Structure 1
């Protein structure tokens, strides 16, 4: 995955906003951009190029406005759908005769082929953007047009899966190999399309391949949300997704773990993280085990010891004994890089 970093830090104060405007216009699409805080404008973004997709994690510390006009569209149009996922702060957007203000975890989509205006009116803004060529989205353009500027939740349903996957890609970009890129691109396009289809109530319009590829992701998300439930079994998972248990097992056939083993691994991992959390040091081990679906403390202890080589209490003691007193992260100076 090719990564390039752009930031205003280090640019002379008088040139900061001009530099930012030039970067965004050249890399996204031509826009009129202005700010009342030219000399104190601060922003940073990373461009992650994933095949034909572009991912933009970034933050902005000052208000600004941008407009995409008919004249600029005629000048250049990448013909993309642009999804914005604010994680804090808010953005006002208007397109296709509709206006909306979106806050944290409220995604929205705009079409680069139509005029729009975006305003960041105050406070720091942090989020992730995604650009998808319209030719890769197997939904009628007139149908997608009904969703432009519409609020889509990043905390439930298909939107949560898309947002979670997008955020993990942004946070973890260095851990993927070049050979992973095509698979990641396919998954992201499928999740983007399935999210739009969900809000259009148009799931029947999706190609069978998209349904098939997104089903394992939906199942994993369901499992993560239900790990606390001791009754989480392959049968219950299959019933919740209207599939047979045998078909559920077939979806995991190419994975390293069976369905039951994957559930157990996820529960143990969550318990391990809680045991290593200094703020939860006084929480009894049996309560942490129960929090993640283990109803029998002895069975949890055996499973944990087998997985990590230490009993839960011994693991907690060792982790906290080895932890330094000052646990504040070390901050390194940021530099612009291309990888």
Structure 2
């Protein structure tokens, strides 16, 4: 453990490696205070653990610096952790994550006597590619969900990865770090997109991205709303809401696009050697009878009659 007299030196060395913005300590945590900082770089990500021993509650002040352009996912492992950033404050229990912005002054407090252990994962904000204003408005210094879904997956992954960081080769650390960024992006993006007050431009872009993904995977028999939602980092529930707001359903839109592709291929003389079943299967239909019924409901003729009418040259 490192004593209080070395605290500022520890923080300075830690900050030089890009893990934390400058820190000041106050009030005096007392003679029983000690602190250890451990961190590892994983490509764009810095991950580490802070161990604190204190004889009374203490406060750590973190001041803003523009060059520390980081978001930090903070998860207490032992003890409760009180965080204040801007006008928000949150008391975190062990395993409860929050998100902090290193460019915003932050106050961290232990709520009782030590020991305490806090895990952090610092990611450059540019790596997430998300709307920073919405993150600031909605997610900073709040309790982020961690009991199910992608929240549970993310916290489980980060906690277990933190135990293994020192054992990774440089190449493996780089790859794992990029995967870590993608997972945090999916987690934060899902939280943002579940909020009902997103602007029309943002939601329209999400729908277009979802439709583009589905269009590129129409032939995948496993294509589902869950797969489409995952491709744009939003929840299935929110994906259904986006489509419902536009008087559509996800499954209905996928079925219509598949039928349109089949309709086009059945009209093409070049594809005359392909059977109707083969064309239907190519575009994601697994049941020939179901395909025929859906095709006739959409176009008023059977697939066979449509092919005869469009592909047979006039006499």
Q: TM-score range by the shorter chain?
A: 0.5 to 0.7
Aligned equivalent of 2:62: 68
Match status 1:50 vs 2:29: no
CA distance in 1, matches of 2:68, 2:44: 11
**Match of residue 85, structure 2, among 60, 85, 95:** 95
Aligned equivalent of 1:199: 191
**Match of residue 161, structure 2, among 166, 169, 176:** 169
Any idea what the Cα deviations from partners look like across 1:212-254, whole Å, max 9, x if unmatched?
9xxxxxxxxxxxxxxxxxxxxxx9xx6997459xxxxxxxxxx
Any idea what the Cα deviations from partners look like across 1:291-337, whole Å, max 9, x if unmatched?
xxxxxxxxxxxxxxxxxxxxxxxxxxxxxxxxxxxxxxxxxxxxxxx
CA distance in 1, matches of 2:77, 2:40: 18
Aligned equivalent of 1:137: 128
Check whether the contact 1:16–1:41 (CA below 8 A) recurs between aligned residues: no
The structure that has the greater radius of gyration is 2
CA distance in 2, matches of 1:17, 1:96: 25
What is the total number of aligned residue pairs between the two structures? 204
Match status 1:111 vs 2:95: no
Check whether the contact 1:92–1:99 (CA below 8 A) recurs between aligned residues: yes
CA distance in 2, matches of 1:42, 1:86: 17
CA distance in 2, matches of 1:38, 1:104: 24
CA distance in 1, matches of 2:109, 2:122: 19
* Structure 2: stretches of 5+ with no match in the other structure: 196-202, 214-220, 229-315
CA distance in 2, matches of 1:208, 1:126: 40
The within-5 A match list for 1:281-296 is none
CA distance in 1, matches of 2:116, 2:48: 13
Any idea what the Cα deviations from partners look like across 1:28-80, whole Å, max 9, x if unmatched?
111222253343212222111111210012321124322234xx53xx53110
CA distance in 2, matches of 1:113, 1:128: 19
The within-5 A match list for 1:1-339 is 7-8=1-2, 15-24=5-14, 26-27=16-17, 28-62=20-54, 63-69=57-63, 72-73=64-65, 77-122=67-112, 123-145=114-136, 146-201=138-193, 242=226
Check whether the contact 1:93–1:116 (CA below 8 A) recurs between aligned residues: yes
CA distance in 1, matches of 2:53, 2:224: 43
CA distance in 2, matches of 1:240, 1:36: 57
CA distance in 2, matches of 1:118, 1:14: 17
Evaluate the alpha carbon distance shift between residue 208 and residue 88 of structure 1 in structure 2; reply closer, same or farther with a 3 A threshold: farther
Superposition misfits of 4+ residues, deviation over 6 angstroms = 203-209, 238-241
- TM-score, structure 1 normalization: 0.53
Structure 1 vs Structure 2 CA RMSD: 3.1
Check whether the contact 1:16–1:38 (CA below 8 A) recurs between aligned residues: no
Check whether the contact 1:93–1:100 (CA below 8 A) recurs between aligned residues: yes
CA distance in 1, matches of 2:10, 2:27: 11
1:140 shift after superposition: 0.6
Evaluate the alpha carbon distance shift between residue 64 and residue 101 of structure 1 in structure 2; reply closer, same or farther with a 3 A threshold: same
- TM-score, structure 2 normalization: 0.56
Evaluate the alpha carbon distance shift between residue 121 and residue 77 of structure 1 in structure 2; reply closer, same or farther with a 3 A threshold: farther
Evaluate the alpha carbon distance shift between residue 117 and residue 14 of structure 1 in structure 2; reply closer, same or farther with a 3 A threshold: closer
